[in-house]
Structure 1
């Protein structure tokens, strides 16, 4: 008989995979916007849109619930880590090739798996380590970074990976003790405050097309955050970490559909390895389900 806990793992994988797909569409939208709109303004309007959505769903009582949360401090720390991770990533992306910054950033699942064993005391099985390793090899092959040397942008990309992984571990820890809407309100409330000053200093009035894209970015990010937070409530970090690699496959698909980028052969080989990483987790977790409780 399949236990409820093992059913939750499958649900967590589904939600997390869906979240990373939406985050990829979100990143593609930002790529269209950054040509004319400052990054600070994009993050500000995106966070403000998500915050408004949370208030619309929960009502005025949301502010009271947030202020009374017993884990408000860990949520604030996690939010700061994620914001600095995003700023570091976007700053590195200005100077590095997409292949380079992608490969460096995707060290995050490996860091996350290591931190999960230390901070969350998760028991990471051999198939989970294999999935992380196979997925990272797929990223390297698909991205094909050549001539990468240590520099300030490289450091920023690695910093983004470590901070994102740390934020995901804290998210797993807080997700078990607080509702997703409360966590989203804390995160996006802080993001709105921390990006507000820079936004007004570099404000650029958007046209109708840009305004629609800005609102769409907020909606995409809001649904993605909710799916990710809920997914983290259902499954361990070491199980979900390899599925972060799936966003690279979606990135190549969207690159072809939007910008007509035709991936070379190494991209397809890397994509196969990335998908294999997910398959390793799914198959191993199914085999665990068949074992007696």
Structure 2
């Protein structure tokens, strides 16, 4: 009975951490959307990483000790950082033209793409049921995007590009040395993102208004806090329990979009999102049944 009680408590802790983490990432996205009015996505991503780096360093030292500072394959982290930074650029740019809920709904397709790419790139065996789920998820994307229709927004392609790059980044974790902890991955991802951004800033830099400094700081704090809590959620509970809670981001995105920009997503956005979410949850549950490790979470811009 004690063991069952401990498991229940661990699951509840994981659920609370996941919900709080998703909320923080939604705030991060809303701040980024606000900043796109005056700054390029490259600058937003760069300053987010630079400000977050000391915080991530402290978290890494606290959770993993000095051993977590060592990387056995630093070049791999640089490539992962490049995928992440380009993905952030695409997502932040899309927020300038899309509603927050619409962009959030489309980014949910990333775990679905992980399943498809794992079969195409790594020749992983993916059965008919999971392939069906992948196709259903892509159908959900079509419902949201509506290519060729009057409501089609080209910026939606940027979000799909973000999902594709994030899927590649998640799969690239297979090339990371197994001796490195999740905290090492987080530190080097943030650090490599900041390093890459240094070479871009001379061409796009815009002086930061004093009133906007707190927004950049808020993006770094909420983004880092969100990813830390989501990571911890998976340490307490199984992916099958907490991974589906990532989709609560659509609720927060809808609320924040309405409050700050008077955005009201149409029925097709929610219908397509429901299809994408259903396919993603099915893949998580199916992989659990097969004894595989489901995709833990979407990376945060």
The normalised TM-score by structure 1 is: 0.69
Please report how far the alpha carbon of residue 112 of structure 1 lies from its aligned counterpart in structure 2 after TM superposition.
0.6
Q: Which residue of 2 aligns with 1:183?
A: 185
Q: Which residue of 1 aligns with 2:297?
A: none
The 5-angstrom pairing of residues 11-22 of structure 1 reads: 19-22=21-24
Q: Which residue of 2 aligns with 1:45?
A: 47
Give the stretch that moved more between structures: 198-207 or 94-103: 94-103
1:282–1:241 CA distance, 2 compared to 1 (3 A): closer
Q: Which residue of 1 aligns with 2:162?
A: 160
The 5-angstrom pairing of residues 1-293 of structure 1 reads: 19-58=21-60, 65=67, 68-91=70-93, 106-117=108-119, 119=122, 121=124, 126=129, 137-138=139-140, 140-141=142-143, 143=144, 145-147=146-148, 157-171=159-173, 174=176, 177-230=179-232, 245-270=247-272, 272-273=274-275, 276=278
What SS class does the counterpart of residue 208 from structure 2 fall into?
A: coil
* Cα deviation code 1:167-217 (max 9, x no counterpart): 112347649642233222211111111112333443333334311111000
CA distance in structure 2 between the partners assigned to 1:134 and 1:171 by the alignment:
26
Please report how far the alpha carbon of residue 55 of structure 1 lies from its aligned counterpart in structure 2 after TM superposition.
3.0
Unaligned 5+ segments in structure 1 are none
What SS class does the counterpart of residue 204 from structure 1 fall into?
A: coil
Unaligned 5+ segments in structure 2 are 292-301
CA distance in structure 1 between the partners assigned to 2:137 and 2:79 by the alignment:
29
Please report how far the alpha carbon of residue 288 of structure 1 lies from its aligned counterpart in structure 2 after TM superposition.
9.2
Please report how far the alpha carbon of residue 35 of structure 1 lies from its aligned counterpart in structure 2 after TM superposition.
0.7
How many residues were matched structurally? Answer: 283
What SS class does the counterpart of residue 171 from structure 2 fall into?
A: helix
1:144–1:197 CA distance, 2 compared to 1 (3 A): closer
